[in-house]
Structure 1
Amino acid sequence: MHIAKPFQDHDLQRLHRHMQSARLATLISHGDHGLLATHLPVLLDTDEGEFGTVYGHLARANRQWQDLQRGGEALLVFAGADAYVSPSYYPSKHHDPKVVPTWNYVAVHAYGPVVVMHDAESLLQIVSRLTDLHEQGRSEPWAVADAPADYIDSMLRAIVGIRLPIARLQGARKLSQNRSAADIQGVHAGLADSRDPLDQSLAAHMRSL
């Protein structure tokens, strides 16, 4: 993706934290079936590879896995908070009216080849790890082993696993860094006062500037 220099994020730990906090990723690829995208939960193993490795699964009926199995690079998009930025947030507009609206956002793009997995052991491990990840913190967490084994076996036959060792990462943190300190503070205050949870989440990111 195009990222202007002030908004580029190269902090690997912060990129990983963003990926881990994203509730849903978008897997994008191009192949014999054209340009395809699938929204799916994934898990990130930060200890595997230079930039980490992502695991997930697709429905076997989803033809995207067939393109992925033939090779080539895929893209995983991890979107974060985003917010409309009104020129009214800028104190500078009072002496310089040459201002326009913009949009602030946080996002990470992960690129790499995809390994498609069909064996039951790998699939069970992926769905178990994903389930454990999202069940943690619940008073009575559900586990894959709680369901009948034959039922889980039938569900596993309906999916394929994916493993994407990340070859490169791009991070974007567009938080008004190209504005003056006063304008940045104005944007932060405006978003923090909003009733929109995404505006407030974006404001929280701006506190780290």
Structure 2
Amino acid sequence: MYLPKQFEETSVPVLLSLIKAHPLATVITMSVSGLNANHIPMVFAENTRGQKVLRGHVARANPMLSDLAVSPQTLLVFQGAEHYITPSWYATKKETEKVVPTWNYAVVHVKGQMQVVDDAAWLHQQLEDLTAQQESRRDMPWSVNDAPAEFLNQIKQAIVGFEVQIESMVGKWKVSQNQPPKNRVTVVEGLEGEGTDKALQMRDLVKKSL
């Protein structure tokens, strides 16, 4: 990933915060026919050896599992807030007209070694952790154990867990840092005016750069 220094985010808590807020990862592996991409919700955890890992599960029929015979090296991409930035929002447009559109975004790339975890207890815990991660904010959160045991066992027989040991995490927060402060102020105002959840998420990131 092209990463100018001004856009680099190195804070581990900030990177993990994005991963937890946007857990659906693009999981990229190498297959015998080239690159393979899957979209899988992940859970951050620490294993019994104290190593930082990301845990997920896939259908047993997913060809991604056979990619490990080619290489266990895996890239996971977590996409956070993103928004188109119109040059009409820049304060300097009125002064010079030397402005162009761009796209703001926050993203985390994680590299690591993937391994399959074919263990019933591990898989059940991963399902519980993933469900709790998504349901905890609800007034009446659904629990894995709410499903009938026989039905749940059928589901678990059709899936398998995997774990990626984190070797590196790289964050890119492209949120108008390359613009003069007065342009960042008017970008914040423009995003505020859009009013959508997507725009307001990016507004908050740009405000932090002021």
The answer, yes or no, to whether TM exceeds 0.5 is yes
Give CA-to-partner distance per residue, 1:151-170, whole Å, 9 cap, x none. 22221111111111110011
**Counterpart of 1:125 in 2: which secondary structure?**
helix
Q: How does 1:1-209 map to 2 (within 5 A)?
A: 1-45=1-45, 48-49=50-51, 52-68=52-68, 70-209=70-209
Question: Which amino acid in 1 is paired with 2:82?
Answer: D
Over aligned residues, Cα RMSD in angstroms?
1.7
Please give the alpha-carbon distance, in whole angstroms, between the structure 2 residues aligned to 1:140 and 1:84. Answer: 36
Q: CA 1:124–1:192 in 2, change beyond 3 Å: closer, same or farther?
A: same
Relative distance call for 1:122 and 1:70 in structure 2 (3 A) is farther
Q: Distance in 2 between matches of 1:53 and 1:202?
A: 28
After superposition, what is the alpha-carbon deviation per residue over 1:91-135, rounded to whole angstroms, capped at 9, x for unaligned?
112222221111111111111010111121221111121112222
- What's the CA shift string for 1:58-107, capped at 9, x where partnerless? 11111011113553311111101111111111111222222111111111
Q: How many pairs align?
A: 207
Q: Is contact 2:20-2:44 (8 Å) kept?
A: yes
The alpha carbon displacement at 1:23 in A equals: 4.3
**Percent identity for Structure 1 against Structure 2:** 35
How far apart, in 1, do the equivalents of 2:179 and 2:137 lie? 40
Cα distance in 2 between the residues matched to 1:103 and 1:65? 34
Aligned amino acid, residue 150 of structure 2: D
Q: Decide whether the 8 Å contact of 1:109 with 1:170 is kept in 2.
A: yes
- The alignment partner of 1:171 has SS state of strand
Q: Which runs of 5+ in 1 are unaligned?
A: none
Is contact 2:30-2:71 (8 Å) kept?
A: no
Q: AA paired with 1:137?
A: R
CA distance in 2, matches of 1:95, 1:202: 25
Residue pair 2:116, 2:163 contacting (<8 A) in 1 also: yes
Q: Distance in 2 between matches of 1:57 and 1:18?
A: 20
Secondary structure in 2 matching 1:189: helix
Q: Which moved more, 1:147-156 or 1:199-208?
A: 147-156
In structure 2, runs of 5+ residues without a counterpart are none
CA distance in 1, matches of 2:72, 2:62: 18
Contact preservation (8 Å) 1:45, 1:54: yes
Kindly indicate whether the alpha-carbon contact (under 8 Å) linking 2:43 and 2:130 is maintained by their aligned counterparts in 1. Answer: yes
Say which SS state the counterpart of residue 109 (structure 1) adopts.
strand
| Amino acid paired to 2:192 | A
The amino acid of 1:166's aligned partner reads: I
Q: TM-score, normalised by structure 1?
A: 0.92
**Judging changes above 3 Å, is the alpha-carbon distance between structure 1 residues 132 and 184 closer, same or farther for their aligned structure 2 residues?**
same
Question: C-alpha displacement at 1:33, in angstroms?
Answer: 4.3
